[in-house]
Structure 1
Amino acid sequence: MRKDTLVAWAMTMALALAACGDAPQDSAAPQADLETPAAADSGAAQSAPAEAAPADAVPTDAAASGDHVLDRDGNPVPLLAFDVERVPASNVALGDLPFFSLPAGYGPQNRPHVRRYARFPFRIGDGLHWVEGASWNAKIVVDRDQRRDKEFSARELRRNLEAVLAEAGAQAVFEGPLRRNMYYGQLEDEIGGGFIEAVNLDQDAQTSVHVIRQADRNVWVQLATTSNEAGLVIVEETSFEPTARWRDEFPYLSAPEGYDQGNRPKQRDFDMYPFWTGSAFEEVEGRTWAGQVVADERNRSMHEVRRNLEAMMDEAGGVLVFEGRIPREASERYGNDLKGPYSDGTGFSWDDYESRVYRVDRPDGRQVWVHARLEYMSAGWVVVEREGFVQTAALLPAGALKQKLDADGRVAIQVNFAVDKADILPDSQPQIAQVLAVLEQDPALRLSVEGHTDNTGTAARNRELSEERAQAVVAALTAQGIAAARLSSAGFGDSRPVGDNATDEGRARNRRVELVRR
């Protein structure tokens, strides 16, 4: 890129900013080692020219919470708007992403990250500018089969790429240091989820950004170089087209194209899940679904999942109840016994990632709640369709209980407990009363009360829960005057299923309390 062209661009920026006050100065954050491992020590950075920013790089008009991000030291980094129409148009024919080849002897260190739709914050001015679209990025080094005879040359790489960009009609819109710390802090999750190889370089790595403006698309290119490696990001800026659709059947949400559900989703006919509203949890009971949204690591895009989720919620008329990170204190109000069954969807630590909580009030009167996990390494969601409890267990009268005990030596009773607890719900008291009647009618009868669960959750927790529930039934009977010596309790967790845990019906049969004659 000709130096006189870049200098003229910088002078235009200075004149434009003079009308509003002093031009912003780059405030370089102190260099620090990244917590994310780098492939190799980058070595000394190239001496970088003074930063130049385009005349149309200006602070956004977004709300105060959205006009900047915080770097790894807590300093604000402005998010800048950019008028791409002021970049000279190019009519040079371009092929497919990444549009151009690398110089002879150079190539990606690892397989490039290629995403159908992602976003990257390009360096302009003294801040960053978000660009969304199809993306390609990689760390560039000397090809493995060339390393014996060839050394990396930042000058050779830059001169080649600048030449091919000039042929494509690109305009330089930034020259200056990388300021790597800008990409860590609030942006760490998103950058770590795919663009890390492009920015995990020296703090002062020489960095340039070019834009190719065409009638149907804009192409952004950011190149950062050190003495022995480079980071390259290419984004074809395009309009977003959702590939996920809101469906008419539960669980209503679908995965974007190229993504799947990973492990088998977990669905329950009736349960409770707490949804964070920003100030408290809304405990929603009803039909529940928890599942993953996964893709190949180098094609996965947290932003693509986010945009598809937003599109589905718009389609369904959903209301955004909460956006951000659930506070740690709030997250810890619920233990792993509740989070475990939903961990594929929303994990165990709700404060460790960006959450979205939506409520959908359907035209048929049903209410649907969604908690989405948007984490750079994975994503998922929990869906609950609110509904009242419908009892499906039937009361076994004392006569039937006694007959089954005499014939088989054991009988299963349906006792309903609070979710993941040993608290007997009021609707089970009539069944407890019938067991009490059997014991009172036969003073010689001694029973072992045995608890069983389905295979949801860990085996250790299932055994513990089944023991606690069996003990709760014994306690309810002894509280009514039955001698403790006539009763014992035991819990077997999910080790003795009587139904298929792969089906809702089978899991329901496995969640039971049994009375066994001693």
Structure 2
Amino acid sequence: MRKETLVACALAMALSGCGGPPASDVADPAADANGVVAASATEETEAEAGANAGDTAGDVEATTASANSVLDRDGNPVPLVAFDIDSVPVSSAALGELPFFSMPAGYGPQNRPHVRAYARFPFRIGEGLHWVEGASWNARITVDDDQGRDKEFSARELRRNLESVLAQAGAQPVFEGPLNRNAYYGAALEQEIGGGFIEGVNMDHDAPTSVHVIRQADRNIWVQLTTTSNEAGLVIVEERPFVATARWTDEFPYLSTPAGYDEGNRPKQRDFDMYPFWTGSDFEEVEGRTWAGQVSSRGRTHSMHEVRRNLEAMMAEVGGTLVFEGRIPKEPSERYDFDLKSPYSDGTGFSWHDYDSRVYRVDLPTGRQVWVHARLEYNSAGWVVVEREGFVQTAAMLPADALKRQLDADGRVAIQVNFATDEADILPESQPQIDQVLALLQADPALALSVEGHTDDTGTVQRNRSLSEARAAAVVAALTGRGIEASRLSAAGFGQDRPVADNATDEGKAKNRRVELVRKP
């Protein structure tokens, strides 16, 4: 049986003790015959309109796309309107958890409902849309699979059942009219709403739609129901203020993920590289330490809005500057090829023009500068972080005779072997140094060496130790592959346990990332 209830308890339990008056019995002086509240377009931005929903009321007025409107699929402005929540009587009905109500007998979500801990949705109000933020639930409602051919979908049956339940909960109707599907599929809303709430809004353009509001002492609950002849779309949002769960940290890459999210695949970090950041007119190529990773909502429904609000909160916390917001133009984004984009694809993908971006610059009190490019899509997100810094050369070839002199004097010598970031692959530019170690061993057949790997303190202790062991083993493999007997060599890794310089500086970190040759007795 596929039927899913909208709450864990049955309808009777969910509404036990409900004493709210039916919606039809309550006069709403701010509403017209359809329950539409007249409201004025404010000077708020879209995000502010969502965060401050219900603060003002007046007349709807919007003729062009601006902070007060969005463009629909045909390029026509759709006003963003305010709503006077005080016009809705307070309900004392006892409600459970989101989504609060069960479906009528024989009906249920066609697919698994989309549940988000924090999102925003533009509810139909008057001739426009009204942003509401909070915990959300949306699904497409059809006849249960286990009904077979014994039951046909009836929009009237479904709507009458849900409207009765809403009336018992003290809900007030605030809109009744067409869905206006095109409003949800304009450029500004297509990703976040058209994609993120597809089960609730991807219906016939003029499908009958109603919006109800339940106002309680500690929360407001918004319900939008859209019906056609064979299915329905249902969106429920429990309105609540935003509380950031991600924090700016003291360690690179500084950004953290919101509660319930993680970094997905293992993030990729490079000690030195270049990444281009779009500034609105051109790319600024920033060199330094780089990090790329996902913001993954494992086991839950991704919320583009939740990630965006947390990113904004972190930038506000550290005083970051918003350099660019929107979509990077296609032509300049294609200036960079696969080889540059590939290492950063977990963070920002390959088609930089095909999603909403945020680019920030953070000027830290220490004098360092950090750049962030965030990818925001309705079903995924990620970011690239670069801490600007100058190049520090870490490679220095020691010829075989110099290696021998230092081994004779100290019993050990550090060599500079460069590896792929966070990997044990020896880079081609280090081959001359391997050749000199080979010459040293060939010149003295009695010489036996322990090859020991070391790292700086970036990353976990366990990861650094295993990485240093793998890198030491890679050097041994390179030498035995050239004819040196394996019995003359051994590999060991000590991670960050044996620093030779201060890890607080880039120069110190560079010295600590090393391979040492130690004479064996």
TM-score scaled by length of structure 1: 0.69
Contact in 1 for aligned 2:194/2:201 (Cα 8 Å): no
Q: Show the counterpart of 2:505.
A: none
Does structure 1 residue 381 correspond to structure 2 residue 403? no
Letter in 2 for 1:9: A
Q: Deviations over 1:50-109 (max 9, x none)?
A: xxxx97563489x96322222222222111121212222222222111111111111111
Query: Structure 2: which amino acid aligns with 1:67?
Result: N
How many angstroms apart in 1 are the aligned matches of 2:62 and 2:383? 32
Kept in 2, the 8 Å contact 1:6–1:172? The answer is no
**Aligned residues of 2:138 and 2:197 also touching (Cα < 8 A):** yes
The equivalent of 2:279 in structure 1 is 277
Q: Is the alpha carbon distance of 1:240 and 1:16 closer, same or farther for their aligned partners in structure 2, counting shifts above 3 Å? A: closer
In structure 2, the partner of 1:209 is 211
- Cα distance in structure 2, aligned partners of 1:6 and 1:88: 8
Matches within 5 A, 1:302-341: 302-341=304-343
Counterpart in the other structure of 1:28: none
Counterpart amino acid of residue 331 in structure 2: E
Query: How far 1:372 sits from its partner (Å)?
Result: 0.6
Kept after mapping to 2: 8 A contact 1:135/1:233: yes
The answer as to whether partners of 1:207 and 1:222 remain within 8 angstroms in 2 is yes
In 2, the alpha carbon distance for the partners of 1:263 and 1:15 equals 47
Deviations, residues 12-60 of structure 1 (Å, cap 9, x unaligned): 999969x99xxxxxxxxxxxxxxxxxxxxxxxxxxxxxxxxx9756348
* Structure 1 equivalent of residue 113 of structure 2: 112
Q: Equivalent of 1:10, from 22, 32, 40?
A: 32
- Assess if the C-alpha contact under 8 Å between 1:325 and 1:355 holds in 2: yes
Residue equivalent to 1:161: 162
Residues 357-396 of structure 1: pairs in structure 2 closer than 5 A: 357-396=359-398
SS of the aligned residue for 2:244 comes to: coil
Partner Cα distance (2:84, 2:242) in 1: 19
Distance 1:316 1:271 in 2: 24
Q: Deviations over 1:470-508 (max 9, x none)?
A: 9xx9xxxxxxxxxxxxxxxxxxxxxxxx999x8787999
Equivalent residue for 1:267, pick from 266, 269, 279 = 269
Paired residue for 1:136? 137
User: Residues of 2 paired with 1:102 and 1:75: CA distance?
Assistant: 36
In the alignment, the residues of structure 2 paired with residue 362 and residue 172 of structure 1 have an alpha-carbon distance, to the nearest angstrom, of 50
Are the structure 2 counterparts of residues 378 and 64 from structure 1 closer, same or farther at C-alpha, using a change threshold of 3 Å?
same
Q: Distance in 1 between matches of 2:306 and 2:38?
A: 35
SS of residue paired to 1:310: helix
What whole-Å deviation, never above 9, does each CA across 1:99-126 have from its counterpart, x for those lacking one?
1111111111111111100011111111
| Equivalent pairs, count | 407
Aligned to 1:170: 171
1:239 aligns to what?
241
**How far apart, CA to CA, are the structure 2 residues paired with 1:508 and 1:314?**
41
Q: Does 1:293 align with 2:295?
A: yes
Quote the residue 1:150 is aligned against. Answer: 151
The residue number in structure 2 matching 1:92 is 93
Q: Deviations over 1:299-338 (max 9, x none)?
A: 2101110011111111111111111111111211111111
Is residue 193–residue 302 contact of structure 1 (8 Å, CA) maintained in 2? no
Contact 2:225 2:232 in 1 (8 A): yes
Amino acid aligned to 2:272 = F
Whether the 8 Å contact between 2:270 and 2:289 is mirrored in structure 1 is: yes
Paired AA for residue 91 in structure 1: S
Per-residue deviation at 1:127? 1.2
Which blocks of at least 5 consecutive residues in structure 2 are unaligned?
1-22, 42-55, 406-414, 433-452, 456-462, 483-521
Percent sequence identity is 72
Instruction: Give the distance between the partners of 1:159 and 1:294, measured in 2 at CA.
Output: 39
Tell me the residue number matched to 1:256: 258
Q: How does 1:13-52 map to 2 (within 5 A)?
A: none
- CA shift for structure 1 position 7: 11
User: In the alignment, is the contact (CA less than 8 A) between 1:291 and 1:380 conserved in 2?
Assistant: yes
Q: Does structure 2 conserve the Cα–Cα contact (< 8 Å) formed by 1:13 and 1:56? A: no
Counterparts in 2 of 1:16 and 1:381: CA distance versus 1, 3 Å: closer
Structure 1 unmatched runs, 5+: 21-53, 404-412, 417-451, 457-461, 474-497
In structure 2, what is the equivalent of residue 440 of structure 1? none
SS at match of 2:226: strand
Q: Which SS does the other structure have where 2:118 is aligned?
A: strand
- Structure 1 residue 6 displacement after superposition: 8.6
Q: Distance in 2 between matches of 1:506 and 1:345?
A: 29
Which moved further from structure 2: 216-225 or 327-336? 327-336
Residue aligning to 1:76 = 77
Partner of residue 347 from structure 1, selected from 329, 345, 349 = 349
TM-score by length of 2: 0.69
Distance 1:301 1:372 in 2: 14
Change (3 A) 1:3 1:154: farther
Greater Cα shift, 85-94 or 391-400: 391-400
Q: Note if 1:65 corresponds to 2:83.
A: no
Q: CA deviation at 1:362?
A: 1.3
Q: How far apart are the structure 2 equivalents of 1:453 and 1:15?
A: 61
Contact 1:193 1:301 in 2 (8 A): no
Distance of 1:373 and 1:365 partners within structure 2: 26
Question: Do the aligned partners of 1:454 and 1:507 also contact (CA within 8 Å) in 2?
Answer: no
